Structure 1
Amino acid sequence: MGWLRENAFAIAIGTLLVSGGLLVVVLGYVSLVVYAALTAGVSLVGVVTDLAVPYLPVVAVLFVLLTVSTVGVSWGILRRLSLPKSERLGSAAERAGKRYPVLDELGVADSLTPPEPTTEEKLEELKRRYVAGEIDETTFERELDRFVADDSVDDERVNDEREAALDRRTS
Protein backbone atom coordinates (compact mmCIF):
# COMPACT_ATOMS: atom_id res chain seq x y z
CA MET A 1 0.00 0.00 0.00
CA GLY A 2 2.93 2.34 0.64
CA TRP A 3 4.23 2.11 -2.91
CA LEU A 4 0.77 2.79 -4.32
CA ARG A 5 0.30 5.83 -2.09
CA GLU A 6 3.74 7.22 -2.98
CA ASN A 7 3.15 6.81 -6.71
CA ALA A 8 -0.57 7.64 -6.87
CA PHE A 9 -0.01 10.96 -8.64
CA ALA A 10 2.17 9.40 -11.36
CA ILE A 11 -0.34 6.56 -11.79
CA ALA A 12 -3.18 9.09 -12.11
CA ILE A 13 -1.26 11.05 -14.77
CA GLY A 14 -0.47 7.86 -16.70
CA THR A 15 -4.07 6.66 -16.51
CA LEU A 16 -5.29 10.08 -17.63
CA LEU A 17 -3.01 10.08 -20.66
CA VAL A 18 -3.70 6.48 -21.69
CA SER A 19 -7.47 6.55 -21.16
CA GLY A 20 -7.76 9.97 -22.81
CA GLY A 21 -5.72 8.85 -25.79
CA LEU A 22 -7.65 5.60 -26.20
CA LEU A 23 -10.97 7.43 -25.87
CA VAL A 24 -9.95 9.85 -28.63
CA VAL A 25 -8.93 6.91 -30.86
CA VAL A 26 -12.17 4.98 -30.25
CA LEU A 27 -14.39 8.02 -30.72
CA GLY A 28 -12.41 8.98 -33.83
CA TYR A 29 -12.93 5.49 -35.28
CA VAL A 30 -16.66 5.62 -34.52
CA SER A 31 -16.86 9.07 -36.12
CA LEU A 32 -15.12 7.80 -39.27
CA VAL A 33 -17.48 4.83 -39.54
CA VAL A 34 -20.53 7.08 -39.09
CA TYR A 35 -19.17 9.54 -41.68
CA ALA A 36 -18.51 6.70 -44.13
CA ALA A 37 -22.06 5.42 -43.60
CA LEU A 38 -23.49 8.87 -44.22
CA THR A 39 -21.51 9.38 -47.44
CA ALA A 40 -22.30 5.86 -48.71
CA GLY A 41 -26.04 6.28 -48.11
CA VAL A 42 -26.25 3.33 -45.72
CA SER A 43 -28.84 3.38 -42.92
CA LEU A 44 -27.31 5.33 -40.07
CA VAL A 45 -29.42 3.55 -37.46
CA GLY A 46 -28.06 0.16 -38.49
CA VAL A 47 -24.45 1.36 -38.43
CA VAL A 48 -24.80 3.04 -35.02
CA THR A 49 -26.51 -0.06 -33.63
CA ASP A 50 -23.71 -2.28 -34.97
CA LEU A 51 -21.11 0.03 -33.38
CA ALA A 52 -22.92 0.46 -30.05
CA VAL A 53 -22.73 -3.21 -29.11
CA PRO A 54 -18.95 -3.66 -29.17
CA TYR A 55 -17.80 -0.09 -28.51
CA LEU A 56 -20.25 1.29 -25.95
CA PRO A 57 -18.78 -0.70 -23.03
CA VAL A 58 -15.26 0.29 -24.10
CA VAL A 59 -16.24 3.97 -24.29
CA ALA A 60 -17.97 3.73 -20.89
CA VAL A 61 -14.92 2.15 -19.21
CA LEU A 62 -12.55 4.66 -20.80
CA PHE A 63 -14.80 7.55 -19.77
CA VAL A 64 -14.91 6.32 -16.16
CA LEU A 65 -11.11 5.88 -16.11
CA LEU A 66 -10.66 9.34 -17.60
CA THR A 67 -12.98 10.90 -15.01
CA VAL A 68 -11.38 9.14 -12.04
CA SER A 69 -7.85 9.92 -13.20
CA THR A 70 -8.78 13.56 -13.83
CA VAL A 71 -10.01 13.82 -10.25
CA GLY A 72 -6.81 12.11 -9.04
CA VAL A 73 -4.55 14.45 -11.00
CA SER A 74 -6.55 17.50 -9.87
CA TRP A 75 -6.31 16.40 -6.23
CA GLY A 76 -2.58 15.73 -6.62
CA ILE A 77 -2.02 19.20 -8.05
CA LEU A 78 -4.09 20.82 -5.31
CA ARG A 79 -2.12 18.95 -2.62
CA ARG A 80 1.14 20.16 -4.11
CA LEU A 81 0.07 23.80 -4.29
CA SER A 82 1.23 26.17 -1.65
CA LEU A 83 -2.06 26.55 0.18
CA PRO A 84 -2.45 29.20 2.85
CA LYS A 85 -2.40 27.78 6.35
CA SER A 86 -4.21 29.38 9.25
CA GLU A 87 -6.11 28.37 12.34
CA ARG A 88 -9.35 29.73 10.86
CA LEU A 89 -9.03 27.74 7.64
CA GLY A 90 -8.04 24.65 9.60
CA SER A 91 -11.01 24.87 11.95
CA ALA A 92 -13.40 25.51 9.03
CA ALA A 93 -12.01 22.48 7.22
CA GLU A 94 -12.31 20.44 10.41
CA ARG A 95 -16.00 21.38 10.74
CA ALA A 96 -16.55 20.53 7.07
CA GLY A 97 -14.77 17.22 7.63
CA LYS A 98 -17.20 16.35 10.42
CA ARG A 99 -20.13 17.03 8.12
CA TYR A 100 -18.56 15.40 5.05
CA PRO A 101 -16.35 12.48 6.18
CA VAL A 102 -14.67 12.19 2.77
CA LEU A 103 -12.94 15.53 3.43
CA ASP A 104 -11.66 14.15 6.71
CA GLU A 105 -10.32 11.03 4.98
CA LEU A 106 -8.53 13.17 2.39
CA GLY A 107 -6.81 15.15 5.16
CA VAL A 108 -8.06 18.57 4.08
CA ALA A 109 -7.97 19.98 7.62
CA ASP A 110 -4.40 18.76 8.14
CA SER A 111 -3.22 20.44 4.94
CA LEU A 112 -4.80 23.80 5.91
CA THR A 113 -3.83 23.88 9.59
CA PRO A 114 -0.41 25.31 10.38
CA PRO A 115 1.92 22.99 12.27
CA GLU A 116 2.19 23.37 16.03
CA PRO A 117 5.18 25.53 16.93
CA THR A 118 8.07 23.64 18.43
CA THR A 119 9.29 24.29 21.95
CA GLU A 120 12.24 26.18 20.48
CA GLU A 121 9.92 28.45 18.48
CA LYS A 122 7.72 29.06 21.53
CA LEU A 123 10.75 29.99 23.64
CA GLU A 124 12.07 32.33 20.95
CA GLU A 125 8.67 34.02 20.63
CA LEU A 126 8.43 34.42 24.40
CA LYS A 127 11.94 35.96 24.55
CA ARG A 128 11.15 38.24 21.62
CA ARG A 129 7.98 39.50 23.30
CA TYR A 130 9.81 40.12 26.59
CA VAL A 131 12.75 41.93 24.97
CA ALA A 132 10.34 44.05 22.89
CA GLY A 133 8.49 45.02 26.08
CA GLU A 134 5.20 43.39 25.05
CA ILE A 135 5.09 41.40 28.30
CA ASP A 136 6.44 42.22 31.75
CA GLU A 137 8.97 40.22 33.76
CA THR A 138 6.30 38.49 35.85
CA THR A 139 4.51 37.17 32.76
CA PHE A 140 7.82 36.12 31.25
CA GLU A 141 8.77 34.19 34.42
CA ARG A 142 5.33 32.57 34.62
CA GLU A 143 5.55 31.38 31.00
CA LEU A 144 9.06 30.01 31.57
CA ASP A 145 7.80 28.12 34.63
CA ARG A 146 4.98 26.69 32.51
CA PHE A 147 7.55 25.26 30.09
CA VAL A 148 9.24 23.53 33.02
CA ALA A 149 5.91 22.24 34.35
CA ASP A 150 5.07 20.78 30.92
CA ASP A 151 8.41 18.95 30.92
CA SER A 152 9.09 20.41 27.48
CA VAL A 153 12.20 22.19 28.77
CA ASP A 154 14.50 21.35 31.66
CA ASP A 155 15.34 23.76 34.50
CA GLU A 156 18.88 24.39 33.29
CA ARG A 157 17.66 25.45 29.86
CA VAL A 158 15.07 27.79 31.38
CA ASN A 159 17.75 29.45 33.50
CA ASP A 160 19.96 29.91 30.43
CA GLU A 161 17.08 31.42 28.44
CA ARG A 162 16.13 33.67 31.36
CA GLU A 163 19.67 35.03 31.67
CA ALA A 164 19.98 35.54 27.91
CA ALA A 165 16.68 37.42 27.74
CA LEU A 166 17.56 39.58 30.74
CA ASP A 167 20.95 40.39 29.22
CA ARG A 168 19.35 41.32 25.92
CA ARG A 169 16.74 43.48 27.56
CA THR A 170 19.23 45.42 29.66
CA SER A 171 21.62 46.06 26.78
Structure 2
Amino acid sequence: MGLVDDSRVTVLLGGFLLSLLALVGVTALGAFAVLSAFLDPAAGTPLLVALLQTAAPFVAVAAMLGVVSLVLLVGLAVAVVRSASVPRDARLARLARTVERYYPGARSLGLSEKFEPTTEDRIDQLKQRYVEGEITELEYEQRLQELMSDDDVSDDRVRRERERTDRQRDREFEL
Protein backbone atom coordinates (compact mmCIF):
# COMPACT_ATOMS: atom_id res chain seq x y z
CA MET A 1 0.00 0.00 0.00
CA GLY A 2 1.42 3.36 -1.01
CA LEU A 3 1.42 6.55 0.98
CA VAL A 4 -1.33 8.05 -1.18
CA ASP A 5 -3.58 5.06 -0.46
CA ASP A 6 -3.23 5.50 3.31
CA SER A 7 -6.26 7.50 4.44
CA ARG A 8 -4.54 8.80 7.59
CA VAL A 9 -1.73 10.29 5.53
CA THR A 10 -4.20 11.86 3.11
CA VAL A 11 -6.35 13.38 5.87
CA LEU A 12 -3.34 14.69 7.80
CA LEU A 13 -1.77 16.14 4.66
CA GLY A 14 -5.05 17.85 3.70
CA GLY A 15 -5.50 19.21 7.22
CA PHE A 16 -1.93 20.46 7.34
CA LEU A 17 -2.21 22.23 3.99
CA LEU A 18 -5.56 23.81 4.92
CA SER A 19 -4.25 25.00 8.29
CA LEU A 20 -1.16 26.40 6.60
CA LEU A 21 -3.34 28.22 4.06
CA ALA A 22 -5.52 29.60 6.90
CA LEU A 23 -2.38 30.71 8.75
CA VAL A 24 -1.12 32.59 5.70
CA GLY A 25 -4.57 34.18 5.20
CA VAL A 26 -4.89 35.29 8.83
CA THR A 27 -1.36 36.69 8.76
CA ALA A 28 -2.09 38.65 5.57
CA LEU A 29 -5.37 40.01 6.97
CA GLY A 30 -3.59 40.99 10.20
CA ALA A 31 -0.87 42.75 8.26
CA PHE A 32 -3.47 44.74 6.30
CA ALA A 33 -5.36 45.60 9.51
CA VAL A 34 -2.17 46.79 11.22
CA LEU A 35 -1.21 48.77 8.13
CA SER A 36 -4.62 50.45 8.03
CA ALA A 37 -4.42 51.24 11.75
CA PHE A 38 -0.99 52.73 11.19
CA LEU A 39 -2.16 54.89 8.31
CA ASP A 40 -5.40 56.00 9.99
CA PRO A 41 -5.01 55.85 13.80
CA ALA A 42 -8.11 56.21 15.97
CA ALA A 43 -8.63 59.67 17.38
CA GLY A 44 -7.20 60.17 20.85
CA THR A 45 -5.36 56.80 21.11
CA PRO A 46 -1.60 56.56 20.94
CA LEU A 47 -0.32 54.90 17.78
CA LEU A 48 1.33 51.98 19.61
CA VAL A 49 -1.83 51.14 21.55
CA ALA A 50 -3.93 51.31 18.36
CA LEU A 51 -1.50 48.96 16.57
CA LEU A 52 -1.48 46.48 19.47
CA GLN A 53 -5.28 46.52 19.76
CA THR A 54 -5.57 45.86 16.04
CA ALA A 55 -2.91 43.13 15.91
CA ALA A 56 -3.83 41.21 19.10
CA PRO A 57 -6.75 39.14 17.70
CA PHE A 58 -4.80 38.25 14.57
CA VAL A 59 -1.73 37.23 16.59
CA ALA A 60 -3.86 34.99 18.83
CA VAL A 61 -5.58 33.28 15.89
CA ALA A 62 -2.28 32.93 14.02
CA ALA A 63 -0.68 31.34 17.10
CA MET A 64 -3.53 28.84 17.41
CA LEU A 65 -3.33 28.00 13.70
CA GLY A 66 0.44 27.63 14.03
CA VAL A 67 0.02 25.11 16.84
CA VAL A 68 -2.62 23.20 14.86
CA SER A 69 -0.33 23.18 11.79
CA LEU A 70 2.57 21.93 13.88
CA VAL A 71 0.50 19.14 15.45
CA LEU A 72 -0.78 18.07 12.02
CA LEU A 73 2.76 18.13 10.61
CA VAL A 74 4.06 15.92 13.42
CA GLY A 75 1.10 13.57 12.96
CA LEU A 76 1.76 13.47 9.23
CA ALA A 77 5.43 12.66 9.77
CA VAL A 78 4.57 9.86 12.20
CA ALA A 79 1.93 8.43 9.83
CA VAL A 80 4.36 8.50 6.90
CA VAL A 81 7.09 6.79 8.89
CA ARG A 82 4.70 4.13 10.17
CA SER A 83 3.24 3.37 6.77
CA ALA A 84 6.58 3.35 4.97
CA SER A 85 8.01 -0.09 4.49
CA VAL A 86 11.35 -0.83 6.07
CA PRO A 87 13.85 -2.12 3.53
CA ARG A 88 15.48 -5.37 4.61
CA ASP A 89 19.06 -5.47 3.49
CA ALA A 90 22.18 -7.12 4.88
CA ARG A 91 24.24 -3.96 4.34
CA LEU A 92 21.75 -1.84 6.26
CA ALA A 93 21.71 -4.44 9.04
CA ARG A 94 25.55 -4.32 9.23
CA LEU A 95 25.44 -0.53 9.35
CA ALA A 96 22.80 -0.65 12.11
CA ARG A 97 24.93 -3.11 14.10
CA THR A 98 27.90 -0.74 13.77
CA VAL A 99 25.82 2.18 15.00
CA GLU A 100 24.53 0.06 17.89
CA ARG A 101 28.08 -0.91 18.81
CA TYR A 102 29.28 2.72 19.05
CA TYR A 103 26.06 4.19 20.46
CA PRO A 104 24.63 1.92 23.16
CA GLY A 105 21.41 3.94 23.32
CA ALA A 106 20.65 2.87 19.75
CA ARG A 107 20.45 -0.78 20.84
CA SER A 108 17.08 -0.14 22.45
CA LEU A 109 15.64 0.65 19.00
CA GLY A 110 16.60 -2.79 17.66
CA LEU A 111 17.39 -1.44 14.19
CA SER A 112 19.70 -4.27 13.21
CA GLU A 113 16.89 -6.80 13.64
CA LYS A 114 14.48 -4.63 11.68
CA PHE A 115 16.87 -4.32 8.74
CA GLU A 116 18.08 -7.94 8.80
CA PRO A 117 16.60 -9.77 5.80
CA THR A 118 14.44 -12.76 6.61
CA THR A 119 15.11 -16.16 5.09
CA GLU A 120 12.13 -15.53 2.80
CA ASP A 121 13.78 -12.30 1.60
CA ARG A 122 17.07 -14.11 1.02
CA ILE A 123 15.30 -16.83 -1.00
CA ASP A 124 13.65 -14.15 -3.14
CA GLN A 125 17.02 -12.44 -3.72
CA LEU A 126 18.61 -15.78 -4.59
CA LYS A 127 15.83 -16.56 -7.03
CA GLN A 128 16.25 -13.14 -8.66
CA ARG A 129 20.00 -13.69 -9.08
CA TYR A 130 19.31 -17.10 -10.66
CA VAL A 131 16.70 -15.71 -13.04
CA GLU A 132 19.06 -12.90 -14.09
CA GLY A 133 21.80 -15.46 -14.81
CA GLU A 134 24.20 -14.26 -12.13
CA ILE A 135 24.50 -17.74 -10.62
CA THR A 136 24.29 -21.22 -12.07
CA GLU A 137 21.58 -23.75 -11.32
CA LEU A 138 23.99 -25.74 -9.16
CA GLU A 139 24.88 -22.65 -7.10
CA TYR A 140 21.19 -21.82 -6.83
CA GLU A 141 20.33 -25.31 -5.58
CA GLN A 142 23.18 -25.35 -3.05
CA ARG A 143 22.40 -21.92 -1.63
CA LEU A 144 18.69 -22.68 -1.61
CA GLN A 145 19.32 -25.83 0.43
CA GLU A 146 21.41 -23.80 2.90
CA LEU A 147 18.69 -21.20 3.25
CA MET A 148 15.92 -23.77 3.57
CA SER A 149 17.70 -25.43 6.46
CA ASP A 150 17.06 -22.27 8.51
CA ASP A 151 14.33 -22.51 11.13
CA ASP A 152 12.32 -19.44 10.18
CA VAL A 153 11.43 -20.48 6.64
CA SER A 154 7.95 -21.93 6.31
CA ASP A 155 7.45 -25.55 5.25
CA ASP A 156 5.04 -24.35 2.58
CA ARG A 157 7.75 -22.17 1.04
CA VAL A 158 10.26 -25.05 1.07
CA ARG A 159 7.76 -27.36 -0.66
CA ARG A 160 6.85 -24.73 -3.30
CA GLU A 161 10.49 -23.94 -4.07
CA ARG A 162 11.41 -27.60 -4.42
CA GLU A 163 8.42 -28.26 -6.69
CA ARG A 164 9.28 -25.24 -8.82
CA THR A 165 12.93 -26.24 -9.24
CA ASP A 166 11.90 -29.85 -10.00
CA ARG A 167 9.45 -28.66 -12.69
CA GLN A 168 12.10 -26.39 -14.16
CA ARG A 169 14.65 -29.23 -14.24
CA ASP A 170 12.09 -31.53 -15.92
CA ARG A 171 11.41 -28.91 -18.62
CA GLU A 172 15.15 -28.51 -19.28
CA PHE A 173 15.54 -32.30 -19.71
CA GLU A 174 12.60 -32.36 -22.16
CA LEU A 175 14.34 -29.83 -24.40
TM-score (norm 2): 0.52
- Equivalent position of 2:8 in the other structure: 8
Counterpart code for 2:49: G
Cα contact 1:126–1:140 (8 A) shared by 2: no
Alignment of 1:87 with 2:90, yes or no, is: yes
Change (3 A) 1:167 1:29: closer
Question: Are residues 163 and 123 of structure 1, via their aligned partners in 2, closer, same or farther at CA, if it must alter by over 3 Å?
Answer: farther
- Using the alignment, how far apart are the partners of 1:116 and 1:75 within structure 2? 29
Within 2, Cα distance between the matches of 1:58 and 1:77? Answer: 28
Give 1:160 deviation, angstroms.
8.0
Cα distance in 2 for partners of 1:49, 1:34 equals 8
* TM-score in terms of structure 1 length: 0.53
Q: What SS class does the counterpart of residue 49 from structure 1 fall into?
A: helix
Structure 2 counterpart of 1:69: 72
> For residue 3 of structure 1, what is the aligned residue in structure 2?
none
> Letter of the aligned partner of 1:30 in structure 2?
G
- In the other structure, the counterpart of 2:3 is none
Q: Find the counterpart in structure 1 of residue 57 from structure 2.
A: 54
Query: For structure 2, which runs of at least 5 residues remain unmatched after alignment?
Result: 1-5
Alignment-derived partner of residue 99 in structure 1: 106
Name the counterpart of 2:39. Answer: 39
Q: Report the AA paired with residue 67 of structure 2.
A: V
Gaps of 5+ in 1: 1-5
Q: Tell me how large the CA RMSD over aligned residues is.
A: 5.1
Offset, 1:35: 0.7
2:33/2:55 contact within 8 Å kept: no
Is the 1:16–1:70 Cα contact (8 Å) retained in structure 2? yes
CA distance in 2, matches of 1:141, 1:74: 39
**Equivalent position SS for 1:117:** helix
Kindly state the Cα deviation for residue 70 of structure 1 after the two structures are TM-superposed: 3.6
* 1:21 to partner: Cα distance: 2.1
Aligned mates of 2:144, 2:17 — CA distance in 1: 61
Greater displacement, 76-85 / 35-44: 76-85
AA at the equivalent of 1:99? A
Bigger drift between 75-84 and 54-63 goes to 75-84
For residue 158 of structure 1, report the CA deviation from its aligned partner.
Answer: 4.6
**Structure 1, residues 37-92: CA drift from partner, whole Å, max 9, x if none?**
22125544213322454333321121122233344556666788899763323554
